[in-house]
Amino acid sequence: MQFLITGAAGFLGSALANRLVKEGHDVRGLDDLSAGNPDSLSPDVHFTRGDINDRPKLWTLLQEVDCVYHLAARVLVPESVLYPREYNLVNVGGTVTLMEAMRDVGVGRVVFISSGAIYGNQETQPVAENFIAKPNSPYSVSKLSAEYYINTIGKLWGIETVCLRVFNAYGPGQQMPPVHTPIIPNFIKQTLTGGTLVVQGDGNQTRDFVFLDDVIRAMIKTATAPNVNQQIINVGSGVETSIRRVAELVSEITGKKADVIFNHTNDSGVKRMCADLKKSREMLGILPVTPLEIGLQLTMERDPRFNFS
C-alpha cells in the first residue's frame, strides 16, 4: 500500500513509518521539523520537509496514496495554554487543509491520531469513547475540534475516517525537550544519572501508559480494518498507574534510587485516566500485550540515550 504520514519525524510518526516500510509498503513522510528528528527515519521513507498547511505540497504528496496517517500537531499542553492560536492554526487548521487536499486528490481513508486528553476529568474510569469530552486545555480542545472536522468533512465528501484516541504513549525514541519532558523518559534519565524526580502534586494522579509497539500495532491494523468508518477508538493499556508507582518501577528496573520531590504548587492535571479498550478489541481485534514493567525495560534497552555504562 501507499501511505502518507504527516508528522512523520515525530515519536509515533517515525516508528510507524519505519514499521510500514519494513513490511514492504511505500511510505511518504511530511514534517516541519519543529519537534521531530528526520534522522530517526529509515532511508526507505520518502521524507519531505514542509508545513501541514501547504496545500500544493500536500497535493503532490497525496498522489496515488491509499491511506493517510495524520499525526502532525503541536502536542505540549502547557505550551498550548500560552499559545492557543498557534495550536488552533496547526492542529485544527492543518487538519482541515489536509482534508481539503485529500478531497481534491481523491484519497479514500485517513487515520487521525487524536488524544486521550480529550476526556479531561471524568468521575468514572475507565473512560469509553461515548463519554462526554471535557477538554481542559487548548491542546485537548484542538484535538477534539479536529476530530469533529475530520468526521464531518469525511461524511460530506465520502472519505473514510477513523480517529484513534491514544493515551500516554511511551517507548524508545520519545522526545525529551528541555521543558515539559514526558514523565517516563524523564524519570529514567534522572534515575540513571543520579538526578531528582520532580512529581507534580502528590503523585497519586493516574495515567494510562501504553507502550510504543502496542500503539503502532493498533495504527497499522486501523488502515485496513473493515467497518471502522466514522469510528473513534481508544488506544491505551487499559491499566491505571499512579505517577508514584512509575517512579517506584523505574527505581526497581534500574536498580538505582532517586530522590523524589513533590511540587504541590503546580497543577498535576486530571486526577485519573484509564482507557476502556472494549471497542478496540471488537473493531480492531487487538489488545495491548506489553505490561508497564516490560515496556520500561524495553525502553531502556532499545534507546541508546539511556546507555550510561
- The catalytic site residues sit at 139
Residues 6+ apart with CB under 8 A from 308: 192, 193
Among 216, 249, 257, 251, residue whose Cα is nearest residue 235: 216
Side-by-side strand order, sheet with 46-49? 46-49, 26-31, 2-6, 67-70, 109-115, 160-166, 231-235
Alpha-carbon distance of 183 to 286, in angstroms, equals 26
Residue 155, C-alpha cell as written in the block: 461524511
Q: CA 207 to CA 137: how far, in whole Å?
A: 17
- How is 6-23 classified by DSSP, letter by letter? ETTTSHHHHHHHHHHHHT
